[in-house]
Structure 1
Amino acid sequence: MSLPPHRMTTPQPEPHRIAIAGASGRMGRTLIEAVLAAPDCSVSAALDMPGSPALGQDAGAFAGVHTGVAIRSDLYAALQHARFFIDFTRPEGTMAHLAACEAAGVAMVIGTTGFDDAQLARIRAASQRIAIVMAPNMSIGVNVVFKLLEQAARALAQGYDIEIIEAHHRHKVDAPSGTALKMGEIVAGALGRDLKQCAVYGREGVTGERDPSTIGFATVRGGDIVGDHTVLFAGTGERIEITHKSSSRATYAQGSLRAVRFLAARPHGLYDMQDVLGFKN
């Protein structure tokens, strides 16, 4: 009797162990769902603020999934089993998370917006020790739009007024959005301008004629709008509008997981989604 041939099995790579901040929030839950659906990723920790009613619950309970990972508030304990930390919270929370990740050697994906110059400097300093992807918008589509805006601004440098209009849900606390500001920075950079010098963030009363060297911003807040952004190039006889509309936070989650995979091979450094998508190669 002959024995069946021995079958070689290929060892499966270890999944990317991800800790998620704000686990009971809208974005936190979206991230958990995305990680659970990704075969190469796993939820290693789920964090929320002390006092949150979600503490102690299974991270997947909201979706009817048992993960075996309880939502907790002990940041340093949670990072013991994580290789990556995804953070879409607020600047003050992100800075606390940054210190813990730096101490633990855990790479970060930062989708938080609204940092001041000192906080940005602190993130840059931390990137000398850990790998970080930081972007005002993790959506792959938005980051393709960023690339298009750079090309459009150079082609429409003369004779076109530039306005940026953004809309978000009623709960968003910063304005303009980080994505809108990034769009302004890209356009200003392509035109050789400094956004801090040429941005106009509101108009009221008798403002006089529009200064053609300015870049205007308009903000809308209401309802459950996930995120709409339009850059308007208004010329004589024509308008060019480059628009991105998000209908689900899942786009930000998928971009975040793409960022995690990008960071897996990088020991340190500060990157953005343009790096992740290969637009800087």
Structure 2
Amino acid sequence: MIRIILSGCNGKMGKVVTNLAESYSSLAIVAGVDKNCVKSKFPVFSDITKCNIEGDVILDFSRPEALDSILKYAKEKNIGVILCTTGYSEEQLEKINEASKYIPMFRSANMSIGVNMVNKILKNMSAVLYKNFDIEIIEKHHNQKVDSPSGTALLLGNTIKDSIEEKLDFVNGREGIKKRTHNEIGIHAIRGGSIVGEHDVIFAGQGETIEIKHTAISREVFAVGALKACEFMFNREKGFYSMDDVIGGK
């Protein structure tokens, strides 16, 4: 049985993960961490440093400001961390990479299996299409999302960037009077209502357009990927892991 400490347990995603985990015989959430310490099916602590229950992995669906305490706790307990939070600064990303030298670290901007399959497709097709196609990304989320563009839009955009030899620049939205240059990747963020998550990558060429779209209908798709990542990260060696490893069965 894999014992999970769930950070952000009382948030929207934390509640979805909690409910879904009950259908898994291979794992159990043994403790939660949340500033909102309401009663749950397991003990909940206001800070992970106060957690006195043993776990095998930490699953984080909280906020970037919780990173330092999570890394400190994980190093002390020598357990793996699955980071599903987005909006990290460059400095925080460096801390995550540094921590992977000592403990198993997993980070993904999107836990959906479908999004990560789209990402794999983009790795293979972007360099082939780039010469004759302009590339734009449109992402849509609910009105409570605080970071934009979304971590997933940046994940997809960086995958495209990395697969093309020419230097590309992100352009976040457009305004003013100026023609588009070919070496741009336009990223456009829409926020409204209760949209769970939509990402559309558009390759616009002369006389034809190719669109690759992923729509998350329910938050449960992210919870499924997160719990699969927990199973994958159990007893892993120190190092950095991602959804590519989960999908590929590394």
The list of structure 1 runs, each at least 4 consecutive aligned residues, that deviate by more than 4 angstroms after superposition, is none
Given the superposition, is the C-alpha separation of residues 115 and 79 from structure 1 closer, same or farther in structure 2, using an over 3 Å criterion? farther
Matched residue SS, 1:145: helix
TM-score normalised to structure 1 length: 0.85
Amino acid at match of 2:146: V
Given the superposition, is the C-alpha separation of residues 193 and 78 from structure 1 closer, same or farther in structure 2, using an over 3 Å criterion? farther
Partners of 1:79 and 1:204 in 2: CA distance: 52
- Percent sequence identity is 38
Matched residue SS, 2:51: helix
Residue 256 of structure 1 aligns with which residue? 226
Given the superposition, is the C-alpha separation of residues 94 and 263 from structure 1 closer, same or farther in structure 2, using an over 3 Å criterion? same
CA contact (8 A) 1:105 1:130 kept: yes
Given the superposition, is the C-alpha separation of residues 194 and 268 from structure 1 closer, same or farther in structure 2, using an over 3 Å criterion? farther
Given the superposition, is the C-alpha separation of residues 94 and 193 from structure 1 closer, same or farther in structure 2, using an over 3 Å criterion? farther
Cα displacement (A) at 1:56: 4.8
Amino acid at match of 2:155: K
Residue 211 of structure 1 aligns with which residue? 181
* Alignment counterpart, residue 153 of structure 1, candidates 99, 120, 126: 126
Residue 3 of structure 1 aligns with which residue? none
CA contact (8 A) 1:98 1:126 kept: yes
Matched residue SS, 1:44: strand
Cα displacement (A) at 1:164: 0.4
Given the superposition, is the C-alpha separation of residues 76 and 164 from structure 1 closer, same or farther in structure 2, using an over 3 Å criterion? same
Matched, 1:201 2:172: yes
Structure 2 alignment gaps of length 5 or more? none
TM-score normalised to structure 2 length: 0.95
Matched residue SS, 2:123: helix
Matched, 1:30 2:10: no
Matched, 1:58 2:31: no
Structure of greater Rg: 1
Write out aligned runs for 1:1-281 (5 A): 15-49=1-35, 52=36, 55-59=37-41, 69-78=42-51, 80-195=53-168, 198-207=169-178, 209-278=179-248
More strand by percentage: 2
Cα displacement (A) at 1:114: 1.3
Given the superposition, is the C-alpha separation of residues 213 and 90 from structure 1 closer, same or farther in structure 2, using an over 3 Å criterion? same
Corresponding pairs, count: 250
CA contact (8 A) 2:134 2:204 kept: yes
CA contact (8 A) 1:135 1:273 kept: yes
Amino acid at match of 1:19: I
RMSD, aligned α-carbons: 1.5
